[in-house]
Chains A and B, each alone.
Chain A
């Protein structure tokens, strides 16, 4: 097989199951992409119908104690930072609910003091009356902390490993708790024990050899499907976008390979959710709507307060753990710095129109809090 990634699972606690082998064959074998696309479309229709679930991210905070080479929120980046108060989160959530969303993803940088589990739980509580479905994408936590968040009403947990390649992981995560690879790797299982029903995995494409990363991700998915058998597993392959700090992706993945990867995931894991964010451009997102993707975001802002401008008056820089006021000239631009630039800038309404034009029904609500309340 060309491009065979060899020992992708070395040092990882995952087995090369039949499903992983199947994924490898699909991804690196000789099948033509068009054949895979046809099969991926058929599997998606069978398992998810002609529908697309929509969600919106809401950033709580861009404070972070980690130094990560690729991330706009990296500790030493001199960016405008803020942590929203739970009331402000509610205001952002209300705005998103008004634009039509019923599925919310709360996102935050890692900061044990500014963004503790109790705060995240508070933000979840403020959101659940507006959103039947709330998920969180936050730093890995311990089981009791996760439980606090589940009890507040969240049902989904997103925790990307970023990279399954230990040397690349160590190189990218320069300092901070995120350096602990194994702690992060076991996070989804702690979340499952705490009661999360949906678990999102992913790699950040661009940090290490993506061939090996994909196989490791497939093995992680396969592993979780055995261990966390009641959870709905979703996967995402975000490709790195420009962000503050000016990091250049180490390796590029072509659109063709990216599409092949999504098709291979769909066929190897017919029932897994596949998430596609606004990092990818409009044309590619349109093409992928039918080929395996089941969840899309739209109209996304990737900075805290990005939707309604809340928290503006508290913008600051954080230098060695201390808040530093912005220069007076900076207040003109007064908004927090985003995590990354989005590419597809269509609103929720525009995206649902595009979905309908392709014969897909946008699904806003696919969960009811009564299930877990």
Chain B
């Protein structure tokens, strides 16, 4: 049963699973995982690819991704500030990539937590230049609104630090972001199991981005399939109208039943 399509900017997508391309044991493992995931959007770290136009065989990840099939979303990881991220995004376009950027600015190489100030600055600059911007942020509802006003096409709050596989530790904040957002909300980072992805979609997130959990699985393609199913299940449940969870059992004979008598 197909779920509803969704849009980033003017572009429509069916799959609600975005997949990152780092950490895979081999190119072929990555390719089969992408195929199995059913994804339409893949992210590629620009620092891993050749941006000089020389088609470096030692950095040829882009050659291995079918760009007719997947939208390649350049990711600025490695950038520590707005200036570096903006420069990298421009170079990616000059190297022939689409004018879409996953804006990732994390000055701290340990937890890779995003810098909100630099991310907002870079969004302001790149929006004026016509980029479709998908910023990676901490689960901060006010920042999400500020980015939206600055021209971000989506917001991508983290569930937990990148690679941590801890699931949606920021649930309460993400609920507020979803409630307030006028742009798609993509939960990014920290999702370690298909059930985490399902949870995000059940909450009403528009999509999720998964990398580590798929890339380092014993069988990346099988794990990609599992995430595809998790995402579909979560979205279907959301569309079908989940009953809100209740803290206590509700009485089967309603206390206000007398009103109907």
Which A residues are within 8 Å of any B CB, using their own CB? 45-51, 100-102, 132, 197, 225, 229-232, 271, 356, 359-361, 363-368, 370-373
Q: Interface digits, B211-225 against A, CB 8 Å rule (1 contact, 0 not)?
A: 010011000000000
The answer to the question of B116 belonging to the interface, with a C-beta cut-off of 8 Å to chain A, is no
Q: Interface digits, B108-119 against A, CB 8 Å rule (1 contact, 0 not)?
A: 111100000000
* Bound CA span A50–B211, Å: 12
A-B residue pairs in contact (CB < 8 Å), sample of 27: A49-B22, A49-B24, A50-B25, A50-B216, A51-B22, A51-B24, A51-B25, A100-B58, A102-B56, A132-B59, A225-B110, A229-B108, A231-B109, A359-B25, A359-B26, A360-B25, A361-B27, A363-B48, A365-B47, A365-B48, A365-B50, A366-B48, A368-B46, A368-B47, A370-B87, A371-B79, A371-B84
Asked whether, in the complex, the Cβ of B109 is within 8 Å of the Cβ of A371, the reply is no
Which B residues are within 8 Å of any A CB, using their own CB? 22-27, 46-51, 56, 58-59, 78-80, 84, 87-88, 91, 107-111, 163-165, 212, 215-216
Asked whether, in the complex, the Cβ of A368 is within 8 Å of the Cβ of B109, the reply is no
Chain B residues with CB under 8 A of A50: 23-25, 215-216
Q: Which residue of A lies closest to B56 (CB)?
A: A365
CB < 8 Å: which of A48, A51, A197, A271 contacts B110? Answer: A271
Chain B residues with CB under 8 A of A51: 22-25
CB < 8 Å: which of A102, A197, A230 contacts B58? Answer: A102
* Bound CA span A365–B56, Å: 10
Asked whether, in the complex, the Cβ of A371 is within 8 Å of the Cβ of B26, the reply is no
Asked whether, in the complex, the Cβ of A364 is within 8 Å of the Cβ of B91, the reply is no
* Bound CA span A370–B78, Å: 10
Other contacts beyond A46-B216, A48-B23, A370-B91: 19, CB < 8 A: A46-B163, A46-B165, A47-B163, A49-B216, A50-B24, A50-B25, A102-B56, A229-B110, A271-B110, A361-B24, A363-B48, A365-B47, A366-B47, A368-B88, A370-B46, A370-B51, A370-B88, A371-B87, A373-B87
Chain B residues with CB under 8 A of A367: 47, 78
Q: Which residue of B lies closest to A43 (CB)?
A: B163
Asked whether, in the complex, the Cβ of B216 is within 8 Å of the Cβ of A45, the reply is yes
Given contacts A49-B212, A100-B58, contact A230 B109 (CB under 8 A): yes
CB < 8 Å: which of B109, B212, B216 contacts A271? Answer: B109
Asked whether, in the complex, the Cβ of B25 is within 8 Å of the Cβ of A361, the reply is yes
Q: Which residue of B lies closest to A362 (CB)?
A: B58
* Bound CA span A371–B109, Å: 14
Min CB gap A360→B, angstroms? 6
Chain B residues with CB under 8 A of A225: 110
Chain B residues with CB under 8 A of A361: 24-27
Q: Which residue of A lies closest to B218 (CB)?
A: A359
Chain B residues with CB under 8 A of A365: 47-50, 56, 58-59
B-side binding surface: helix, strand, loop or mixed? loop
* Bound CA span A372–B78, Å: 10
* Bound CA span A100–B107, Å: 29
Min CB gap A205→B, angstroms? 25
Min CB gap B122→A, angstroms? 13
* Bound CA span A361–B26, Å: 5
Chain B residues with CB under 8 A of A370: 46, 51, 87-88, 91
Chain A residues with CB under 8 A of B50: 365
Chain A residues with CB under 8 A of B212: 46, 49
Chain B residues with CB under 8 A of A102: 56, 58-59
Chain A residues with CB under 8 A of B22: 49, 51
Given contacts A230-B108, A271-B110, A361-B26, contact A46 B164 (CB under 8 A): yes
Asked whether, in the complex, the Cβ of A364 is within 8 Å of the Cβ of B23, the reply is no
* Bound CA span A45–B25, Å: 10
Min CB gap A122→B, angstroms? 22
Asked whether, in the complex, the Cβ of B47 is within 8 Å of the Cβ of A49, the reply is no
9 nearest interchain CB pairs?
Answer: A49-B23, A50-B25, A365-B59, A364-B58, A232-B109, A271-B110, A45-B216, A359-B25, A368-B47
Asked whether, in the complex, the Cβ of A364 is within 8 Å of the Cβ of B84, the reply is no
Min CB gap A17→B, angstroms? 14
CB < 8 Å: which of B27, B59, B108 contacts A364? Answer: B59
Min CB gap B196→A, angstroms? 15
Chain B residues with CB under 8 A of A230: 80, 107-109
Chain A residues with CB under 8 A of B110: 225, 229, 271
> Which residue among A45, A225, A356 has the maximum number of chain B CB atoms within 10 Å of its CB?
A45
* Bound CA span A38–B56, Å: 36
* Bound CA span A132–B78, Å: 13
Asked whether, in the complex, the Cβ of B109 is within 8 Å of the Cβ of A49, the reply is no
* Bound CA span A368–B164, Å: 25
CB < 8 Å: which of A49, A232, A366 contacts B215? Answer: A49
Q: Which residue of A lies closest to B92 (CB)?
A: A370
Chain A residues with CB under 8 A of B108: 229-230
* Bound CA span A290–B79, Å: 28
Asked whether, in the complex, the Cβ of B78 is within 8 Å of the Cβ of A271, the reply is no
Chain A residues with CB under 8 A of B24: 49-51, 361
* Bound CA span A359–B108, Å: 29
Chain A residues with CB under 8 A of B58: 100-102, 364-365
Q: Which residue of A lies closest to B165 (CB)?
A: A46
Min CB gap B166→A, angstroms? 10
> Which residue among B23, B79, B215 has the maximum number of chain A CB atoms within 10 Å of its CB?
B23
